[in-house]
Amino acid sequence: MPKKPAKKAVKASPQRAAKKSPKPIPLKSGPQKPRPWTPAEVHEAFSRFRKANPEPKGELEHLNPYTLLVAVVLSAQATDAGVNKATRALFAVADTPQKMIALGEEKVREYIKTIGLYRNKAKNVIALSEKLIAEFGDEVPRTRAEIETLPGAGRKTANVVLNMAFGEHTMAVDTHVFRVGNRTGLAPGNTPLEVEQGLEKVIPSEFMLHAHHWLILHGRYTCLARKPRCEVCLINDLCRWPEKTV
């Protein structure tokens, strides 16, 4: 039998032969971390705060460490102005743990009923008063760990009381301080504790007694949540916020 002619090899076209090189995968560019503040910048910022307001005061009205503790417990998810409106009359009749217990939970509720979560807060005020008498000799304890054992008192409450009543260099982080720490880049953090520790790390000791008040007031009246007033900000040239308006 005659042999079948061999099939001619088909040459691959250059286009088919060359493998397509994979397209480079674009790198995801997340938000860039702001450049950390230098020690000189931090010192300058707090020097300006001190010059503008040498003796800042907390806005919660109180008569003694006990009434300060009660006021801070009542201020959770409430404004200082709203708390002051309720506690002026309350503290006039009950400024010690014994007087508060004698007043009783029901009457405490009546005094603070304009404050959010007033029923639970009244219960906590009576419970913490009882614990102060039973375990702390009628006195507000002077350590964070002990204050945190009191009903309704957390880390922020303890830091406020330690700072305002006893002059400790603590950093109470509320919503204003948390916002300022993150927005300015002074002490970025995902939690209040991270911001607290970051601020304590960078703020010089000479400013720590009043630092949390300066930051609270700055957040409350200048570095507002929705429309920050960058044009009147004392530290707008130092602030790392990319959206600042100056």
Catalytic residue annotation: 156, 174
- Which two tokens mark 71? 């006021």
CA-to-CA dists, residue 96 to 31, 33, 99, 118, angstroms: 51, 48, 5, 19
Radius of gyration of the chain (CA): 30
- Which two tokens mark 187? 């002490």
Encode 108-144: b = buried (16+ Cβ within 10 Å), e = exposed.
bbebbeebeebeebbebbbebbebbbeebeeebbeeb
- Which two tokens mark 30? 């997340």
Give the number of residues written for the chain: 246
CA-to-CA dists, residue 100 to 91, 105, 123, 165, angstroms: 9, 8, 11, 19
